[in-house]
Each structure stands twice: as C-alpha cells, then as structure tokens.
Amino acid sequence: MTPPRLLAPSLLAADAANLERDVRLALEGGADWLHFDVMDGRFVPNLSFGPHICKRMRELFSLPLDVHLMVTRPENLVVPFIESGASLLTVHAESDGDLSRVLLAVKQNGAKAGMALKPATHPDTLRPYLPLLDLVLVMTVEPGYGGQKFLSGALRRVAAVRAMLDAEKPGCLLEADGGIDAVTAGGCVEAGADIVVAGSSVFSSGLVSDNVKVLRALLR
Ligand code: DX5
Ligand code: ZN
C-alpha cells in the first residue's frame, strides 16, 4: 500500500517575527509535517535555526518536526535536536564524520533517521546506509537558501531514488525539497516522492492556509 503523500512546509520561509502565527496558519490549511532547515555557515554559506527554536515549536505544536541538517559535522547535534523534540533527523551524505554512527545515534535516541543528497551526488552514495534509513531527502535545488528555482533533472533523480528504494528498502520514505510549488509538486509525486517540502510557495505570498490547501490537493 502506498503511504499517504505529505506536505511539509519549511519554516525557513515563514515570517521570522511571526513563526508561531505562520505555523498555525499552515496547520489550519492541513500541513502534515514542519520542515526545519538547520544551516551552519560552513556546509552551506547561510545560517538558520538551532535547537532552541525547535524546542519552542515542539512546545507549541504536536505535528512531526522534520529536521534537515545542512551542517558539516552533524554528530554533536543529534542529542540536542532530539531532546528539543525533533521527530526525524536528516543528515547530508556529503557531511563529514562517521555517518553510520550518526544515523545509529539518531535511532538509538528515539527519532527517525534520514539522509539527504545534494543535486550532484550520485544516488548510489545512499547504498551503504540503506539499512539505517527511514527517509531519503532528494534536494531539488542546491541547499542553502529558500526561494530557488526547481532544477531541471531533479525529477529524474527523484525517480531514480524511488526505484532504488522500491528494490532495496521498501517502506523507506522519499522526500523532495526545494523549489516546489503548485507547478512542480505534481511531478515530484509522480516521480515517487512521499513528502514534498515547500517554503516560499507556502509562506512568501498570498494566504498561508490557502497555499497549503492548494498544494495538498495536488498531492492526492
Ligand atoms: C534549502 C532548504 C529548503 C528550503 C525550501 O536549503 O533545504 O527546505 O527551505 O524552500 P523553497 O520551497 O522556497 O525552495
Ligand atoms: Zn530543507
């Protein structure tokens, strides 16, 4: 049975002065997960949120917190984020350190473990980690910033990872992240994504709850 497709609005694009209001509006529209982008200024040039914001979101909301670590050294962040209420922790395949140990630590601390791929990283990179993975995140833009254009070739990569998961790790969820809006969401789902992340197309213009409703309807 195919799992239901989920929409994960990305907090990065929410109004920084009104995070609580914006997440509430996204929930009113039917948001399934909250995507939480963590950037360290090294793995990507930008900086974003730390565990204290994650903790506050957990205190305010009960939806799953989907933490995407765009950091060079993820190992020291596992416990702080899980203690702050992360439901799922995704590390990049291109990060440094012993990533199997990091994924194992995520699971031992009670969260689900994911691995993300930058656009240029070959899907085969995932193979050694598959036994530990609950989710794979395929970047459909270069990580680091919201509001970028969906990359051509991204759907082919989503489909390639889907085929690998179906053959080698059925049940592992597939998430697409970056440049997803009402035009690109349907293709992601057709290519096999279970979860789509959407930042700008949810929070940057129009009514947040309506934007969520429109995108969610496209995932059916
Ligand atoms: C990019 C982040 C994305 C980003 C998506 O580095 O991983 O989650 O917030 O934002 P949009 O939907 O605006 O591309
Ligand atoms: Zn992300």
> In the structure, which protein residues have their CB atom closer than 6 angstroms to any atom of ligand 1?
10, 12-13, 35, 37, 68, 70, 141, 143-148, 177-180, 197-201
Dist. CA 36 → ligand 1 center (Å): 9
What is the β-pairing status of strands 6-9 and 135-139?
Answer: unpaired
- Can you tell me the distance from the alpha carbon of 91 to that of 103, in angstroms, rounded to the nearest whole number? 8
Rg (CA), the chain: 16
Task: Give the distance (Å) from ligand 2 centre to CA of residue 163.
Answer: 22
Alpha carbon of 102 to ligand 1 centroid (Å): 23
| Boundaries of every domain in the chain | 6-219
Domain 6-219 bears CATH identifier 3.20.20.70 = yes
Instruction: Pull the structure tokens for residue 71.
Output: 């950091």
- The answer to whether the pTM exceeds 0.85 is yes
Per-residue confidence (pLDDT) for residue 2, from 0 to 100: 58
Give the model confidence (pLDDT) of 76-132 as tens digits. Answer: 999 999 999 999 999 999 999 999 999 999 999 999 999 999 999 999 999 999 999
Q: Does residue 210 have an active-site annotation?
A: no
For residue 37, indicate whether it is catalytic.
yes
Q: What is the pLDDT of residues 135-188, one digit of tens each?
A: 999 999 999 999 999 999 999 999 999 999 999 999 999 999 999 999 999 999
What string of H, E and C letters represents the secondary structure of 176-214? EECCCCCCCHHHHHHCCCCEEEECHHHHCCCCHHHHHHH
